[in-house]
């Protein structure tokens, strides 16, 4: 079967194993934001006074920091096939969840609507949905990237990746001397991940052909190393934050092996595919500049400060799960509206 034939088949039936990974990636986004975005990163005092709490927080971060890389790698695994309608649907999804967030604020926190409402709604502010802006740019560039992937030999492609990741490792991670890489919160990092996944799918090297349980074992080993390393570093007042950068080599490697683990078994589930279709709504809900800090982060921080640890873990876990599945259900309303709008548009004379 050619890759084009496989693409046609995926349009008919999505691979549920990879759709499950999409759900996992989006759920991990909520987890990572519930940890070191909502909560303060443990410093030396926290580590010495409450080591078990600090260790648990570092372990949570080490389990979940791969979320963004996974989502971009998934796009590269299948390749982005540029369509104006699909781009329009993505932008409409962002607008829909922006209006939803405004509605929540109008009811529960009207003071949030006293400044920069339009700029935040249309995400033109510096801190509004950084991921969306980087991903839209990647989407727009995808035809150029795909053209290179099709024309380049495996050797040329491989050396391009070696050069890119050597540059990113030195100037973006080890020395942090390029502001436009910004720890992985950037378009160049997304391009690197996209091309890495394309190369892995089209020209798999021996390292990527391990038994899937080795892939899972490598991912878990990286989780363990990042947890212990960060704990030890913080014991001595070290910074260590670069270990949890999206461009950290170990984070990229962990994300790759998790991707490969899911790619090496197959199954079909209409439920998984139905849920995964709306998984991105979970990111849009709790990362909104209207409600992310005011509701998601503050609720978790309040429990962290005022509840015993066991209760905090239970409350936070249930809250994250509720936000995740609640966002998916909200997105189903968005899909209904989008389908209605596209049907109405198709009937207009200008659309023909």
Own/partner contacts of 220-229, CB < 8 Å, gap of 24 or more, are: 222/62, 222/250, 222/251, 222/253, 222/254, 222/257, 223/59, 223/62, 223/63, 223/254, 224/62, 225/250, 226/58, 226/61, 226/62, 226/65, 226/250, 226/251, 227/55, 227/58, 227/59, 227/62
Two tokens, residue 52: 């078990």
The domain locations on the chain are: 3-351
Rounded percentage of the chain residues whose pLDDT exceeds 90 = 81
Q: Which residue has the tokens 């436009």?
A: 180
pLDDT at residue 7, rounded to an integer: 45
pLDDT for 10 equals: 44
- C-alpha 66/C-alpha 54 separation (Å) is 20
CA distance 346 to 51: 60
pLDDT for position 176 = 87
CA 221 to chain centroid, in Å, comes to 21
Which residues have a Cβ under 8 Å from the Cβ of 178 and sit 6 or more positions away?
A: 171, 172
Other Cβ atoms closer than 10 A to 83: 10
Angle at 96 (CA atoms; ends 90, 102), nearest 5 degrees: 140
Q: Mean of the pLDDT values across residues 284-313?
A: 93
67 closest CA partner among 184, 217, 224, 231: 184
Q: What's the mean per-residue pLDDT of the chain? A: 92
- Residue pair 230/62 in contact (Cβ under 8 Å)? The answer is yes
Which pLDDT value is given to residue 351? 55
The CA-CA-CA angle for residues 268, 274, 276, to 5°, reads 90
Phi, psi values for residue 240, rounded to 5°: 75, -5
pLDDT at residue 306 is higher than 90 = yes
Closest among 65, 117, 23 to 223, alpha carbons compared: 65
Give per-residue pLDDT as tens, 249-295: 999 999 999 999 999 999 999 999 999 999 999 999 999 989 988 89
- pLDDT band at residue 352 under the 50/70/90 scheme: low
Helices (H), the chain: 3-12, 16-32, 44-49, 51-64, 67-78, 84-108, 117-121, 130-151, 154-167, 187-202, 212-235, 249-263, 270-276, 280-286, 298-306, 309-346
* Res. 179 pLDDT band, cuts 50 70 90: confident
The backbone region for 269, taken as left when phi is positive above 0, alpha when psi lies in -120 to 50, beta otherwise, is: beta
Q: Could you tell me the two tokens for 210?
A: 């391990």
Q: Is the pLDDT of residue 9 over 50?
A: no
Confidence of residue 236 (pLDDT cuts 50, 70, 90): confident
What pLDDT is stored for residue 193 in this prediction? Answer: 98
Average pLDDT over residues 288-304: 92
């Amino acid at each position: 079967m050619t890759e084009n034939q496989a693409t046609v088949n995926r349009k008919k039936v999505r691979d549920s194993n990879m759709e499950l990974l999409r759900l996992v990636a989006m759920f991990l986004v909520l987890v990572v934001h519930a940890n070191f975005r909502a909560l303060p990163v443990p410093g030396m005092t926290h580590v010495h006074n409450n080591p078990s709490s600090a260790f648990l927080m570092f372990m949570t971060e080490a389990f979940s920091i791969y979320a963004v890389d996974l989502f971009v790698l998934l796009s590269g695994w299948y390749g982005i096939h540029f369509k104006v309608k699909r781009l329009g649907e993505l932008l409409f999804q962002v607008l829909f969840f922006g209006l939803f967030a405004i509605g929540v604020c109008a009811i529960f926190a009207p003071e949030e609507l006293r400044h920069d409402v339009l700029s935040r709604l249309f995400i033109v502010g510096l801190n509004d949905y950084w991921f969306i802006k980087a991903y839209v740019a990647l989407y727009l560039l995808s035809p150029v990237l795909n053209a290179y992937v099709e024309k380049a030999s495996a050797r040329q492609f491989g050396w391009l990746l070696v050069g890119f990741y050597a540059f990113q490792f030195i100037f973006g991670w080890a020395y942090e001397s390029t502001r436009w890489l910004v720890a992985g919160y950037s378009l160049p990092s997304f391009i690197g991940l996209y091309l890495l996944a394309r190369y892995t799918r089209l020209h798999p090297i021996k390292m990527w052909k391990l038994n899937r349980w080795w892939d899972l074992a490598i991912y878990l080993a990286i989780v363990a190393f990042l947890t212990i390393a960060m704990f030890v570093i913080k014991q001595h007042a070290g910074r260590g934050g670069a270990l949890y950068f999206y461009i950290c080599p170990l984070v990229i490697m962990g994300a790759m092996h998790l991707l490969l683990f899911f790619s090496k078994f197959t199954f079909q589930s209409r439920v998984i595919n139905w849920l995964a279709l709306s998984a991105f709504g979970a990111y849009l809900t709790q990362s909104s500049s209207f409600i992310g800090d005011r509701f998601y982060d503050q609720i978790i921080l309040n429990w962290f400060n005022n509840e015993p640890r066991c209760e905090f873990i239970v409350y936070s876990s249930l809250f994250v799960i509720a936000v995740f599945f609640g966002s998916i259900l909200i997105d189903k309303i968005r899909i209904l509206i989008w389908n209605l709008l596209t049907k109405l548009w198709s009937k207009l004379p200008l659309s023909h």
